[in-house]
Amino acid sequence: MSIAIFDELKNYVGFDENDELRMKSLGPVVSPCLPEVVDRFYETILRHPGARVVFGDVAQVRRLRVSLLDWLQTLFCGRYDAEYYQKRSAIGRVHVRVGLPQHYMFGAMEIIWQSLKEIIYAADIANPREELASLHKLLSLELGIMLEAYKESYSEEIRRIERESMHERLTRAEHLAEIGQLAASLAHEIKNPLAGISGAIQVLRDGLARDDGRRSVLDEVLRHIARLDNTVKDLLVYARPKPVRVRECELNRVVERVLTLIRESPDAKRVVIEYIGDRHFPMIAADENLLEDVLLNLLQNAIHASPPGARVIITARVADGFAELAVEDFGHGMDEAVQRRAMEPFFTTKARGTGLGLSICQQIAAAHGGVLHIQSRPGAGTTVTLRVPSRGNQERDRVSP
Ligand code: HEM
Ligand SMILES: Nc1ncnc2c1ncn2[C@@H]1O[C@H](COP(=O)(O)OP(=O)(O)OP(=O)(O)O)[C@@H](O)[C@H]1O
Ligand SMILES: [Mg+2]
């Protein structure tokens, strides 16, 4: 902070050599009474719970009494120069460090002013009015310095925190990119041998007699391989997303196709899936395959979260320039912590989840210039909504990130 502000402040309140002289002559008069000022100051602020919290222990209060007494004594010493100013501006920084809210300063300075005023009235001074006017100016200066230093130190602190969090976010993004690459190469390495194993086992199974009990063992192995293959596919999609091909497409068709697909799965048979749409939706501009991927992922999550027999409701809407696809379930829902992290890649609460479902959905939403929105209440259920511009946007035909 520059001394120019101090000069400017002095100018502003009209603090000149006469004021300086008056303050110095007051010194010996008020000096014996200053400990009382300190007492009154602490009595008052310690009564306020909000102010009290900044004090660590009794030792700190004792230390501060000494500092404040020193502050009061030097208030009447002068010179009110650069050195004085530097010393005074350290106080604002200390107040930031101890987490003292700035608004307490005004009240605190008022207590000091009232106490000193009473002392000066009680002293044997012929006409105290001028003395009081000088003191008032000086206390305004003190408040100005303290607040200015507070503000500077506070914004420095904010900038430091911002720098730190930016650094953290960058490291995190780099980390995720690395995981993505690793995942992609790993997925490639796994995919081909997996296809070979699956083929070989099918040949073995088909070679067995129809009533051979080992057939069911091999079927089970094939199911496991299919699941592995799906996981690997998810990883690949996440690490190297498909390009977005925006075409005219029909929302009803997207839903119908996904329903045909998913109704076959045993998981889906545990719940009752309903579709609420409109037979006459206008055509929208989007990538049909990607919308299907989103709906499939959302349905899978909804089914996993639902108790047997529960309803899962798909809603489609085209209105006001947007197309919306929502999947609502009445399952276990998510608490706040899970909801906050649900779209993070690799975040999962499931023993066998990859944690990529929602993050892929979010990527697809973003690639369409839209958003994915989660609304959830623990124990009550969840609604996840995809919302994209119905006529595409400037980003159409763009390759997703
Ligand atoms: C006009 C009002 C005030 C003045 C003139 C003042 C003055 C001072 C001074 C001179 C210091 C020592 C700075 C240093 O170590 O360099 C200080 C520190 C401190 N002040 Fe104030 N203060 C004021 C208001 C307050 C208020 C209202 C609170 C609490 C509610 C408070 C709490 C503290 C604390 C906790 C410290 C740090 C003590 C330590 O750990 O050493 N101050 N203040
Ligand atoms: N409908 C839902 N109800 C309750 N929790 C959900 C729901 N959808 C997602 N979640 C929570 O969000 C987490 C992340 O979901 P996401 O689809 O990204 O991954 P996943 O389902 O765990 O794994 P994957 O989709 O890769 O199989 C889930 O593990 C679950 O905790
Ligand atoms: Mg999922």
Ligand 2 binding pocket includes 358 (Cβ within 6 Å): yes
What was the pLDDT predicted at 1?
53
Per-residue confidence (pLDDT) for residue 206, from 0 to 100? 93
- How far, in Å, is the centroid of ligand 3 from the Cα of 388? 20
What is the number of the ligand 1 atom nearest to the C-alpha of 91?
13
The pLDDT of 193-219, averaged and rounded, is 92
Mutate to test the pocket of ligand 1, among 38, 98, 147 (most ligand atoms within 8 A of CB): 98
Q: Which CATH architecture has domain 247-389?
A: 2-Layer Sandwich (3.30)
Q: 342: Cβ below 6 Å to ligand 2?
A: yes
- Between 189 and 209, the more confident residue is 209
Domain extent listing, the chain = 3-165, 170-239, 247-389
What is the per-residue pLDDT across 12-61, written as a single tens digit (0 to 9) for each? 999 999 999 999 999 999 999 999 999 999 888 888 877 777 777 788 88
The ligand 2 atom at the shortest distance from the C-alpha of residue 384 is 1
Q: How far is the CA of 103 from the centre of ligand 2 (A)?
A: 46
Ramachandran area for residue 21 (φ above 0: left; ψ -120 to 50: alpha; else beta):
alpha
Residue whose Cα lies nearest atom 31 of ligand 2: it is 349
Which ligand approaches the C-alpha of residue 353 most closely?
A: 2
Pocket test for ligand 1, best of 60, 95, 116 (most atoms within 8 A of CB): 95
Reported confidence tier of residue 393, pLDDT bands at 50, 70, 90: low
Measured in Å, residue 25 CA sits from the centre of ligand 1 at 26
Distance 36 CA to ligand 3 centre (A): 68
Rounded Cα–Cα distance for residues 236 and 225 (Å): 16
Beta sheet of 322-329, edge-to-edge order: 272-276, 311-319, 322-329, 381-389, 371-377
Give the orientation angle of helix 104-122 with respect to helix 34-46, to 10 degrees. Answer: 150
Mean pLDDT of 272-296: 91
**CA–CA dist 93, 317 (Å, integer):** 56
Tens of pLDDT along 100-131? 888 888 989 999 999 999 999 998 888 899 99
Highest mean predicted confidence (pLDDT) among 42-46, 76-80, 289-293, 300-304: 300-304
Q: Compute the distance from residue 20 Cα to the ligand 1 centre, in Å.
A: 24
Amino acid at residue number 228:
L
Mean pLDDT, rounded, for 157-172:
82
pLDDT(174) > 80: no
Look at residue 247 and tell me whether its pLDDT is greater than 60. Answer: yes
**Pocket lined around ligand 1, Cβ cut-off 6 Å:** 45, 51, 54-55, 60, 63-64, 67-68, 71, 90-91, 94-95, 98, 100, 104-105, 108-109, 112
Tell me how far the alpha carbon of residue 337 lies from the centroid of ligand 3, in angstroms: 17
Q: What is the pLDDT of residue 14?
A: 93
> pLDDT band at 263, cuts 50/70/90?
confident
For ligand 3, an ion, list residues with CB under 5 A: 301, 357
* Angle formed at CA 27 by CA 23 and CA 31, multiple of 5 degrees: 145
Answer whether residue 207 shows pLDDT above 50.
yes
Q: Which CATH number describes the domain made up of 170-239?
A: 1.10.287
Give, in words, the CATH class of 3-165.
mainly alpha
For ligand 2, the distance from its centroid to the CA atom of residue 329, given in whole angstroms, is: 13
For the cut 60, the answer to whether the pLDDT of residue 395 exceeds it is no
- The answer to whether residue 398 scores a pLDDT higher than 70 is no
For residue 342, how far is its CA from the centre of ligand 2 (angstroms)? 6
